[in-house]
Structures are given as structure tokens and as C-alpha cells.
């Protein structure tokens, strides 16, 4: 027997042992809430929830309400939650009780290092305290002009591909490349020339391959804690060498490339911060790939390194933690933003009226700031003007609400607790209940999708894409947060007026989301720290592209969006294979009748 086959046999035996332990441990726990019967002895309902599961997820809450018992691997009972009061307890009030699962924390630590999504408790709070000022509005304002050339480059690239009036172009590779360049320049102050079709980058390719490869390993992830707890790093590496699973080996190569690249960039940034500062600007002696004077040390990691150096010893992050932030920020700011931007362009292509209205708004804003010799299309809007465009804001908000890039997240109870509900559900025996006792180590699935589609909160048209819900009758934006001074473009709607004028707030009941009362970027101490940057990027790309280009749907191709945890756009047969991510759109230059 070969070493590989022997190793595979040992691994199989270990996995079977882990399965038996998991099965016997979980059978003792029971959640007394109504839910669907298991669909499969091994996969339970998981495959229907996580694989092309849009309709199934929405049907769960339609039938059972905001708390549903589901079956995970080997029949383990888990709680699927979208109730607003329950989510407030999970992500805000009792966030120390409902923590990320061991699978999530340990898996992320192996992949990204000790970053925000890999830590818990006091370590996470310390990292968050250090990073919050880095993502301030002031820093976002400084970053905007630095990264504007990326949107211009993306627009020029698409224009160059239009050879005869109108051209069908798959926008997924280009929104993906653009998002990668945005986050790398903004976060690292580096360019990997992602928008140059003639150049390739090992790091860029690794990032593009990350999610597709990880999805192929979804059934292996639950066993990560078992191997981390029971095997040393040396033995885990040996097992990886032995096991004949190609996606696992490919994933290890991807992680190695990511870590090696970030480690090299970290060393360069550290040297620049420590010894080459001149009048607050970086000298042009950084290695190839750095953005030099255009960045001027305003990238996120440079700001973080300077803040860390000026902190007291107790609050300082270790080198391992700083490296972890680099990998985490790049990954978190790359694919989800690319997906959201592709979805926005697809929706605008399918709704010519919305596209024309947005283009009129962008033209008016740019013409108000155009100089004597400039074309209005070439005007770069300031941060406050860009973020204050009412219809653009409504489009982005509604798209992120109805089609969140990430639909599901998990938590586990670190002790026995009782989860209160805003809206009653039925127990397994049919009785109405308003709270749910949960044993220790119960997995809770946060359904971002179901929360964002909750008719009790968003109205009967909750699943409809209707940007106008975020506007007043005069086309101005509704202010959502209490106790803040509204920026330009917002109209304050007092609580004495009709409640449905404030989206996501019905009779004072709302979700604890950090962004527009929706759950897309979560809420509480583990809310997405970079949501302001993602919003800014999407708005900058849209205003730049729509000033020059018109988008429409191809007549012979049906684009379908799968919900596999992340949103995956495909073209259905016979025009496509139903598997390859793509959004083919017909693109041409803007004409006078496109406004």
C-alpha cells in the first residue's frame, strides 16, 4: 500500500471517529421549534439552504416564521433565525454568548492569521478599537481621489472593447479585477495591475481562486476544529500531503501565496513607516508594485501601522495580528464588492428607466462642478457629493438589501440561554412561543437574506427591488438614524409621520444592522468594519461608468443568480452551462436619448 493510500485510510478512520462523536453529542440536544423534516441522512437540510437556496430560504421563513429548526450534518439540529429581536440579542445584547463557531474561528485563523474574523473576546475588541479610526470618514475622504483612477481605468478598458457600436462583454472578470485593484491600492498602497489584461499576478489569481475552491470544501470545514485540537501543525501538514483531495491541496497553495505576498508587503510598509518618511509622504524608494506618491501613506495598512506604533504597549497589535488584518481586509473587501457591483450593473441593464434616471442625476451633479475646459464626464465628484446623491444612494441601499452578497452567517451558544422573539412562532408540538431555550453549543444560523426580506418590517413588497422606498415623494433621501445631523441630501422624517416612510422601521421595530437598518453588513461588535469603503467604491464605479457607457441585457441569454452562500451569476442552458460565473451585458457608448 502506498503512503498516500495509507494516509487516506488513516484520515478516513479519523473522520469516521469524529463523525460518531459528533453524532452522539448532538443527538442529546433538541430545539423545540417547528421546522422541516430532514431531506438527507448526512446533509440534513444544509444542501438546500447553502446550494442555490434563494427560494428555499425564503420559503422557510414564510412557512415557519423568524425562528426555524433545521437539520445540519448527521441530523444535528440548528436554529435558523431572522426575527429582529432575536438578532438584536445575538449580535448586540448578548454577543458574548452567541460567538462565532469554532469551525469559523479556527478555519479563518489557519487561512488569514490572527485578524478580525479569526479572534474572539478581548483580543477581538482590542483589534476593533485599533481599526475603527482607520476606517473613519476622514480617511475615506482622503482615499477617494487616490483610487478614482481605478474607476477611470476600468471605464477606458470597457470602452476599448467596444469595436462596433455595441459589444457583448462579460462584466464579472472586470468588476472582479476592479474590486481587487481598489482594495489592494486602498488597503495596501500596492497595485497588482489587475486591470491590465496583458499582466498576470500570482497573488491576484490566488484571490480569484479562493472562493470557488473553498466552496468545494464546504463538507470538510466542520471537521477543522477536530484536527486543530487533536493534531500538531507538523501532523496536519503530513495529513495534507497524504490526503488525495485535489481541492484541499489547491487551497493550501492559495493560502501560501496569500500569506507570502502579504508578509513581503508588510515588511516593505514597515520599512517605509519606520525610516523613509519625508514631510508625511513616502519616498519613491518603495519596491515595484507600490503606488508611491499617489498613495502618500494614506492606504489603510500604512495608517494602521502608524497608529499601532503610537499606541501604548498594552494596546499594540503584534506582528502576527497586523499580518492577519492585511489578509482579512483584502479578502473581505474583494469578492463581495465585486458581486454587488456586478448585480448593480445587471439591475440597471434590466431596468432602463432606473439607468436613465441615475445617469441624469450623475450628469447634473458633475455639470455643477465642471470647470471651463473640462468635459462633465471627466469630473471627479468629491466624497460628500458622491455619497449624497439621493437616487444613487437609494439604488445601492436597495440592491444590498434585496440581494446581500453574503446571505448566511453562523453563531454558537457558549452557554445555555433563552432567545426572545419579536414575533411568535410555533413549537414542534404546535404551541405558540415567544422565546426559545437553547442548550450550550447550539449552532444558530443568522439569515441575512430572510431578515432583509421580512414583510413584517419592510412591507408586503419586501422581496421587490424598489429603490424608491428610500426616497421621499420629492425624490430626497430619508434619514434613518436617530440623534445624528443629516448630511446634505437627506430629509428627516419624524416618527409622528407615516412609519412606512422610514424603510426598515415598523412601529419602532427594526433590525440592529449597522447600515440602513438592514442586516447586510451585520451589526454590533462584529459588524463589517469596511462597509463605508465598499459603499464608496460601488458608487464611484457606477458614476464613472454610467457617464460614458450604456448597459442592456443580451436577448438570447438568461442570467440567473444562484445563492450559494455568496451570490453566483450564471447563464442558463442552452446559451450557458449554468455553472460558470458570468454576467454578459451589451455595452455601448452613451447617446443623447439615454438620459
CATH code of the domain in which 82 resides: 3.30.43.20
Same domain for 137 and 178, yes or no, is: yes
Find how far residue 393's CA is from the centre of its chain. 18
d(Cα 198, Cα 578) in Å, to the nearest integer? Answer: 28
Same domain for 296 and 438, yes or no, is: no
Cell triple for 436: 426559545
Q: Is residue 245 part of a domain?
A: yes
d(Cα 590, Cα 377) in Å, to the nearest integer? Answer: 11
The answer to whether residues 523 and 469 touch, using CB atoms and an 8 Å cutoff, is no
Same domain for 141 and 223, yes or no, is: yes
d(Cα 269, Cα 282) in Å, to the nearest integer? Answer: 10
3-state secondary structure of 379: coil
d(Cα 344, Cα 395) in Å, to the nearest integer? Answer: 8
Same domain for 57 and 71, yes or no, is: yes
Q: Is residue 216 part of a domain?
A: yes
Q: Is residue 12 part of a domain?
A: yes
Same domain for 452 and 390, yes or no, is: no
Domain limit, last residue, from 435, 456, 477: 456
Q: Rg (Cα) of the chain, in Å, rounded? A: 24
Same domain for 449 and 429, yes or no, is: yes
d(Cα 435, Cα 165) in Å, to the nearest integer? Answer: 61
Identify the CA nearest to 581 among candidates 206, 212, 56.
212
Same domain for 82 and 229, yes or no, is: no
Same domain for 399 and 429, yes or no, is: no
CATH code of the domain in which 359 resides: 1.10.630.10
Same domain for 162 and 136, yes or no, is: yes
Q: Using CB atoms within 10 Å of the CB of residue 300, give its burial: 0 to 12 exposed, 13 to 18 middle, 19+ buried.
A: buried
Identify the CA nearest to 80 among candidates 56, 103, 96, 97.
56
DSSP state of 333: T
pTM here is 0.89
Residue 109: enclosing H or E segment and its boundaries?
A: helix 102-112
Find how far residue 209's CA is from the centre of its chain. 16
Q: Is residue 521 part of a domain?
A: no
Domain limit, last residue, from 429, 456, 483: 456
Compute mean pLDDT per 10 residues along the chain, 595 residues long, and list them.
50 53 53 94 90 95 97 91 98 96 94 94 95 92 91 96 93 95 91 88 90 84 89 89 90 94 90 60 42 63 92 93 93 92 98 98 93 82 96 98 96 97 97 97 97 97 97 68 42 42 88 96 95 96 98 96 90 96 97 95
Same domain for 10 and 82, yes or no, is: yes
d(Cα 446, Cα 434) in Å, to the nearest integer? Answer: 18
Q: Is residue 101 part of a domain?
A: yes
Q: Give the length of the chain.
A: 595
Buried/exposed 474-510: b ≥16 CB within 10 Å, e otherwise = eeebbbbeeeeeeeebbbebeeeeeeeebbbbbeebb
Same domain for 395 and 408, yes or no, is: no
User: Which positions make up the binding site?
Assistant: 528
Q: Using CB atoms within 10 Å of the CB of residue 311, give its burial: 0 to 12 exposed, 13 to 18 middle, 19+ buried.
A: middle
User: Which positions make up the binding site for heme?
Assistant: 528
Same domain for 442 and 569, yes or no, is: no
- Domain of 8 in residue numbering reads as 1-17+31-112+404-456
Residue 436: enclosing H or E segment and its boundaries?
A: strand 432-438
d(Cα 128, Cα 514) in Å, to the nearest integer? Answer: 15
d(Cα 67, Cα 472) in Å, to the nearest integer? Answer: 33
d(Cα 282, Cα 179) in Å, to the nearest integer? Answer: 24
Q: Is residue 484 part of a domain?
A: no
Task: Provide the domain count of the chain.
Answer: 2
d(Cα 527, Cα 365) in Å, to the nearest integer? Answer: 32
Q: Is residue 464 part of a domain?
A: no
C-beta neighbour count of 119 within 10 angstroms: 22
Strand ranges inside 16-139, DSSP E:
67-71, 77-81, 98-99
- Tell me how far CA of residue 550 lies from CA of 174, 350, 482, 592, in angstroms: 16, 11, 38, 11
d(Cα 132, Cα 141) in Å, to the nearest integer? Answer: 15
Q: Is residue 562 part of a domain?
A: yes
3-state secondary structure of 523: coil
Domain limit, last residue, from 416, 434, 456: 456
Amino acid at each position: 500500500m502506498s503512503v498516500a493510500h495509507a494516509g487516506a485510510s488513516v484520515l478516513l478512520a479519523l473522520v469516521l471517529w469524529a463523525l460518531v462523536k459528533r453524532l452522539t453529542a448532538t443527538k442529546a440536544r433538541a430545539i423545540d421549534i417547528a421546522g422541516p423534516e430532514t431531506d438527507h441522512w448526512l446533509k440534513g437540510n444544509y444542501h438546500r439552504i447553502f446550494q442555490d437556496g434563494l427560494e428555499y430560504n425564503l420559503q422557510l421563513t414564510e412557512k415557519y416564521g423568524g425562528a426555524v429548526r433545521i437539520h445540519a450534518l448527521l441530523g444535528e439540529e440548528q436554529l435558523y433565525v431572522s426575527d429582529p429581536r432575536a438578532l438584536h440579542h445575538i449580535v448586540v445584547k448578548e454577543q458574548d454568548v452567541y460567538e462565532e463557531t469554532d469551525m469559523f474561528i479556527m478555519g479563518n485563523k489557519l487561512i488569514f492569521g490572527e485578524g478580525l474574523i479569526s479572534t474572539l473576546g478581548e483580543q477581538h475588541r482590542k483589534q476593533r478599537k485599533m481599526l475603527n479610526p482607520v476606517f473613519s470618514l476622514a480617511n475615506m475622504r482622503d482615499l477617494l481621489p487616490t483610487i478614482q483612477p481605478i474607476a477611470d481605468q476600468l471605464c477606458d478598458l470597457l470602452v476599448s472593447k467596444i469595436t462596433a457600436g455595441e459589444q457583448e462583454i462579460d462584466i464579472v472578470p472586470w468588476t472582479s479585477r476592479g474590486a481587487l485593484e481598489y482594495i489592494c491600492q486602498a488597503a495596501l498602497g500596492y497595485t497588482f495591475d489587475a486591470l491590465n489584461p496583458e499582466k498576470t499576478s500570482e497573488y491576484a489569481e490566488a484571490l480569484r481562486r479562493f472562493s470557488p475552491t473553498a466552496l468545494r470544501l464546504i463538507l470538510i470545514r466542520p471537521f477543522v476544529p477536530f484536527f486543530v485540537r487533536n493534531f500538531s501543525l507538523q501532523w496536519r501538514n503530513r495529513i495534507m500531503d497524504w490526503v488525495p483531495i485535489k481541492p484541499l491541496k489547491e487551497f493550501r497553495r492559495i493560502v501560501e501565496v496569500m500569506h507570502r505576498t502579504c508578509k513581503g508587503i508588510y515588511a516593505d510598509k514597515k520599512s517605509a513607516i519606520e525610516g523613509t518618511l519625508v514631510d508625511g509622504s513616502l519616498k519613491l524608494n518603495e519596491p515595484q508594485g507600490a503606488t508611491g506618491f499617489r498613495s502618500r501613506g494614506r492606504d489603510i495598512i500604512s495608517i494602521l501601522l502608524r497608529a499601532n506604533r503610537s499606541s501604548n504597549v498594552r494596546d499594540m497589535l503584534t506582528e502576527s495580528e497586523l499580518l492577519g488584518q492585511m489578509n482579512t481586509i483584502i479578502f473581505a473587501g474583494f469578492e463581495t464588492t465585486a458581486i454587488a457591483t456586478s448585480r448593480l450593473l445587471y439591475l440597471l441593464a434590466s431596468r432602463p428607466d432606473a439607468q436613465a434616471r441615475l445617469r441624469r442625476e450623475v450628469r447634473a451633479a458633475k455639470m455643477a462642478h465642471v470647470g471651463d475646459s473640462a468635459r462633465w464626464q471627466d469630473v471627479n465628484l468629491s466624497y460628500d457629493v458622491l455619497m449624497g446623491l439621493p437616487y444613487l444612494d437609494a439604488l445601492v441601499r436597495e440592491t444590498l438589501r434585496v440581494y446581500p452578497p453574503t446571505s448566511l452567517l453562523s453563531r454558537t451558544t457558549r452557554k445555555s440561554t433563552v432567545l426572545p422573539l419579536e414575533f411568535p412562532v410555533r413549537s414542534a408540538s404546535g404551541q405558540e412561543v415567544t422565546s426559545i431555550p437553547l442548550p450550550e453549543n447550539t449552532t444558530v444560523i443568522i439569515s441575512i437574506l430572510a431578515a432583509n426580506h421580512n414583510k413584517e418590517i419592510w412591507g408586503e413588497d419586501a422581496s421587490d427591488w424598489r429603490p424608491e422606498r428610500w426616497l421621499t415623494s420629492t425624490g430626497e433621501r430619508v434619514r434613518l438614524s436617530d440623534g445624528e445631523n443629516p448630511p446634505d441630501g437627506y430629509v428627516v422624517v419624524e416618527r409622528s409621520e407615516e412609519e412606512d416612510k422610514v424603510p426598515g422601521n415598523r412601529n419602532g421595530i427594526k433590525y440592529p444592522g449597522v447600515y440602513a437598518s438592514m442586516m447586510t453588513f451585520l451589526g454590533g461588535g462584529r459588524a463589517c468594519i469596511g462597509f463605508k469603503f465598499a459603499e464608496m467604491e460601488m458608487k464611484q464605479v457606477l458614476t464613472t461608468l454610467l457617464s460614458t457607457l450604456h448597459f442592456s441585457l443580451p436577448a438570447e441569454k438568461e442570467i440567473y443568480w444562484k445563492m450559494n452562500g455568496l451570490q453566483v451569476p450564471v447563464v442558463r442552458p442552452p446559451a450557458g452551462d449554468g455553472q460558470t460565473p458570468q454576467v454578459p451585458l451589451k455595452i455601448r457608448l452613451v447617446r443623447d436619448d439615454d438620459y
